[in-house]
Structure 1
Amino acid sequence: MKILYLIPARAGSKGLPGKNTKFLGDKPLIVYSIDFALKNIKEGDELCISTDDEKIFEIAGDLGIDMPFVRPNELATDNATSYDVIRHALSHYKKNNKTFDVVLLLQPTSPFRSQEDFENLLSNYNDNLEMVVSVKKSKENPYFTLFEEDNAGYLNKSKIGNYEKRQDCPPVFAFNGSMYLLKVDALYNKKINEFNKIKKVVMPEERSIDIDTMADWILAEFYLDKQ
């Protein structure tokens, strides 16, 4: 199985400016994802960092990584989606006669993947699936603590269920942003939010950090110190 390890890292960030190149511990945040990819990459695989950030180009150069392209301006806006970025990368390699079976999307804002997490991801994948994704158990539950507002302004439970205790509700999961293993053929046929053949790999809370704000950053530093 040929894997495109794709790290999307645009320069702009409103929640925490410059977070991808900010030092977390002894190295820039994005290097955690780069190191993870380099540890697992095999013959026939490829590492692609899709970015428009000059600092990331410098970091990659210092690590001896060839950058395939500069991310186009239209894919470096708030409106650009992960799907757009993935399709752009796949198109680049296809033009250069290189194809892949799956894309492993590694968001640089999720630095704490383990080797066990990755092996679980691969072992859960099969050719009948469209995606295997890392998740965390959600503390919020649509049967109990999540509500939607109706046209009259009243709150109604997002899912109907006669549960008196949260512990009795069916477990629910949230994407934690760490790893998305996506079948390339599926990506050519539909958008990611249209996928319905999805399996999960559960990661613990301490490895499910997705850094978007300074509060997230402080929590990541806490977990890094604990490690």
Structure 2
Amino acid sequence: MKPLIVIPARGGSKGVPRKNIKVLGDKPLIQYTIDAAKGVFDDEFICVSTDDFEIKSVVEQLGLKVPFLRPNELASDTAGTYEVLLHAISYYESKGYFPDTLILLQPTSPFRTSAHIKESLKLYHESIDMVVSVKETKANPYYILFEEDSNGYLKKTKEANFTRRQDCPKVWEYNGAIYIINVKALKASAISQFTKVCKFEMDETSSHDIDTLLDWRIAEIIINDKENDRYKE
């Protein structure tokens, strides 16, 4: 495997302003992901892709070199992750390194660990498009999700005659923590178009993703609980 680990960290954030470098517990949010990546990969393969000088500075103070700042067209609110990933691949290829596997680690998943990454890598092989981390969703479309029909009436998203949620098929949602991607597949199509995708299941706490201030407050509670458990030991 020739890996490239990409940690995308845009400067703008509406839900939690400056969240990527906002301190959670005793360190900036992005450090949780950098530490997890460093526990598996050499620094030379870890790329923080950012458009922001302050984020670059914080990351480099943590001992990880930031190889570039994103061009303006990849720094806007409308810039997509797909283009950001292709840009990172292109940059490394221009330097003579040709990755065959891209590991996308979003900095909004602070409770994803090196152990999770190592376990997910065991599921990956070059004949598939992607291994992606998931959690079992509570919003099961067979039971509690509804959409409006043409008359404005609610109907089940997936028709089924289950009377208990426990009887419904398990349904998974991407938790945003780990994406192990075949570079050849990524160059051919966007992630949403992949057909050969395998899941890596994570528990609810490890899956916690920070998008809003409420998510941030929950993360603080998780951090405090972990600290309290450590003192008890």
Aligned to 2:145: 146
Matches of 2:45 and 2:14 in 1, distance apart? 30
Structure 1 length-normalised TM:
0.96
> RMSD of the TM alignment (CA)?
1.3
| Pair 1:101-2:88 in alignment | no
User: How do 1:66-81 residues align onto structure 2 when only pairs under 5 Å count?
Assistant: 66-81=65-80
Matches of 2:118 and 2:19 in 1, distance apart? 28
Runs of 5+ in structure 2 lacking a partner? 227-233
| Runs of 4 or more consecutive aligned structure 1 residues displaced over 4 Å after TM superposition | none
Aligned to 1:27: 27
Aligned to 1:135: 134
User: How do 1:46-125 residues align onto structure 2 when only pairs under 5 Å count?
Assistant: 46-125=45-124
Structure 2 length-normalised TM:
0.93
Does structure 1 conserve the Cα–Cα contact (< 8 Å) formed by 2:4 and 2:46? yes
Q: Tell me by how many angstroms 1:147 deviates.
A: 1.2
Matches of 1:119 and 1:62 in 2, distance apart? 26
Can you list the C-alpha shifts for 1:138-169, whole angstroms capped at 9, x where unaligned?
A: 00111111112122212221111111111100
User: How do 1:151-166 residues align onto structure 2 when only pairs under 5 Å count?
Assistant: 151-166=150-165
Q: Tell me by how many angstroms 1:24 deviates.
A: 0.5
Aligned to 1:14: 14
Task: Point out the more displaced range, 10-19 or 54-63.
Answer: 54-63
Matches of 1:115 and 1:12 in 2, distance apart? 27
SS at match of 1:188: helix
Q: Tell me by how many angstroms 1:75 deviates.
A: 1.1
% identity of equivalent residues: 49
SS at match of 1:93: helix
Aligned to 2:230: none
Aligned to 1:208: 207
Matches of 1:23 and 1:39 in 2, distance apart? 21
Matches of 2:48 and 2:185 in 1, distance apart? 22
Runs of 5+ in structure 1 lacking a partner? none
SS at match of 1:205: coil
Matches of 1:60 and 1:18 in 2, distance apart? 14
Aligned to 1:198: 197
SS at match of 2:198: strand
Matches of 1:128 and 1:38 in 2, distance apart? 26
